[in-house]
Amino acid sequence: MTTTITKAELAATLYEEVGLNKREAKEFIELFFEKIRVALEDGQSVKLSGFGGFSIRDKSQRPGRNPKTGVEVAVSARRVVTFKASQKLKDDVAENVDVISGSLSNRSEASA
C-alpha cells in the first residue's frame, strides 16, 4: 500500500468491490471528479455527506509580497475552492491520531 491514493486505486476499488469492468471503472472515476469540477466552475457547492463539502469563495484583491525579492505586488481578486471535511471525517481522523502518527513516522524513517 503506497502512501498516496490516486485515481488508479479508486478505479481498482470499483472493479473489485462494485464489479465494474476496468474501462468502466476508470471512466467512472474521471466523470465523478469532472462532475464536481463542473459544479464548482458553475459557482455551486458540492456536499458529499459523510465526507465533506467543496465550496467557492470569492477573494478580493489584497496586498502581497514576492517572497523571493520582497517586492510588494497586489494579489488580484480571485475565486477559490475550499474544502470542509464533515464532522464525521474530522472525528474519525482526530480519533486515529496514534495510527496516523505511526504511519507518518514509519514513512519518514523509511524515506530517510
- For another protein, which residue of 61, 75, 78, 87 counts as binding (CB under 8 A)? 78
Q: Which amino acid is at 22?
A: K
Phi, psi for 52 (deg, rounded to 5):
160, -175
Going from the C-alpha of 108 to that of each of 2, 96, 112, the distances in angstroms are 13, 18, 6
101: its cell numbers: 502518527
CB of 80 to another protein, least distance (A): 7
- Cβ closest to another protein, residue 70 vs residue 83: 83
| Of residues 65 and 107, the one with the C-beta less far from another protein | 107
Cα dihedral 33, 39, 44, 46, rounded to 10, equals: -30
* Shortest reach from residue 70's CB to another protein, in Å: 25
Instruction: Kindly list the residues in this chain that would bind another protein in the complex (CB under 8 A).
Output: 1-7, 9-10, 13-14, 17-20, 24, 27-29, 31-33, 35-37, 39-56, 77-83, 85, 89-90, 92-94, 96-97, 99-104, 107
